[in-house]
Amino acid sequence: MVQPSKSESPAPGAPVPGRAWLMLALATVGFAVNFWAWALLSPLGPRFKENLDLTSFEQSLLVAVPVVVGSLGRIPVGALTDRFGGRVMFPIVSAATIVPVLYLGLAGHDSLAALLVGGFFLGIGGTAFAVGVPFVSAWFPPERRGLAIGVFGMGMGGTAISALTTVKLVDAGSMSTPFVITAAVLAVYAVVAALVLRDAPGRTVPTEPLTRRLAATLRLGVTWQASALYAVAFGGYVAFSVYLPTYLRTAYGLTQADAANRMAGFVLLAVAMRPVGGWLSDRVGPVRVLAGALAVVVAGALVQSPTPSLAPVGTIAFLAMAAALGAGSGATFALVALLAPANKVGSVTGVVGAAGGLGGFVPPLVMGSLYGAYGSYALGLVLLAVVAAAALVFTCTGVRHALARRTTS
């Protein structure tokens, strides 16, 4: 059952109120701040490896724990957002993330066990994505949700803030410096969010128990369709943002700084293209945008598979894939906004977001294993092309038919 609301959601074709754009801006800032906190350990991985004499596996585990927890945590947090709204959940998630951030900065960085405990709870910050999508979606009419959710998705650039500032802040101050600063920013945001955020008028509020709603979400076709597509689109983005520096250093002999700068360019282009993908989905439909994006990924992966010269062929291939993966991520949630029931957008977002986050950790493992076995990344990139081609076929058949049924019903 759905609790009746006192007013109506934005009607198709109606002008978007100014408050909706304010809520979108605040949600995007909250997403970025929480993702900044979520990504604090990754830039310090090499330093922890050296200081604590960690193995490569232990270093990978340290970086992976908050990402995996943050990805899986989106499932219950998305369902809770459906029930309590973003006005409640954004301040709670932001405030809860302060605890592990301060723990890691002040006491929890002297042993692997302490880092893993802190990293586990640091995963809370990664669940902010599942709060923002249903919150933003409810404020905008269907024909504007693709753009709105795409703009919100730019908050994933919070990981870039961490990558660009964390090590510099440690060098300028101490190990605690970036953690204390991030905790202060989280505290300010939590207070502002509690005072200013408002849920959209007419937000549909489910009354069923959490477990029943999650079970119902898993029975929806859009949950699995969007999960598969997001695992390829956002998972591909995560995989490249994690593994691209290693790839560039190994395949092309670049310095660590040069490889990191090129990875930053890849990330920024993907982030910038996410709202473009949402905007295009509002105009030509998410299926066309997804199909185009996946076709570019197929072509880019095949072109890059024989490791061509980095300038210009390799650079063009990677930048094209970055743009396509960003646009495809935006289009996926435009599809969710169209197909998911209004009172289950948060639950669907949680599952889909988890699929995307987890999808990013399979490709680096595959690429590393294949390179170790064959001394080449060619097969790994060919496999990426095959997966993207399968997603392309699925988009043009099953997803297209599902969207057609929804629009004609």
Residues in CB range of 186: below 8 A, 6 or more apart = 33, 34, 37, 94, 95, 97, 98, 101
pLDDT of residue 3: 44
18-200 homologous superfamily: MFS general substrate transporter like domains (1.20.1250.20)
Q: What was the pLDDT predicted at 309? A: 95
| CA contacts within 13 A on the Cβ side of 38 | 31
311: buried, middle or exposed (CB in 10 Å: 19+, 13-18, 0-12)? exposed
Domains 18-200 and 209-408 equal at CATH topology level: yes
Alpha-carbon separation of residue 98 from 43, 69, 121, 131 (angstroms): 19, 16, 10, 17
Q: Domain 209-408: give its CATH code.
A: 1.20.1250.20
**C-alpha span between 222 and 107 (Å, rounded):** 43
Q: Where are the beta strands (DSSP E) in 122-273?
A: 205-206
Q: Do 30 and 90 form a contact (C-beta atoms < 8 A)? A: yes
Task: Give the closest residue to 130 by CA, choosing from 5, 38, 1, 266.
Answer: 38
Determine the Cα–Cα distance for residues 218 and 231; give it in Å rounded to an integer.
16
pLDDT for res 307: 93
The two tokens of residue 65 are 């724990």
Q: Where are the domains of the chain?
A: 18-200, 209-408
270/115 Cα distance (integer angstroms): 30
Confidence (pTM): 0.80
**pLDDT digits (tens), the chain, 409 positions:** 344 443 344 555 567 778 999 999 999 999 999 999 998 888 888 788 888 888 767 777 787 788 888 888 988 998 899 889 999 999 999 999 999 999 999 988 889 999 999 999 999 999 998 999 889 988 988 888 888 988 998 898 888 888 788 888 998 999 999 999 999 999 999 999 999 999 998 877 877 787 888 888 889 999 999 999 999 998 888 788 777 877 888 889 888 678 777 888 888 899 899 999 999 999 999 999 999 999 999 999 999 999 999 989 999 999 999 999 999 999 998 898 888 888 888 889 889 988 988 887 778 778 878 888 888 889 999 999 999 999 999 999 999 998 888 766 6
Please calculate the CA angle 401-404-406 and round it to the nearest 5 degrees: 110
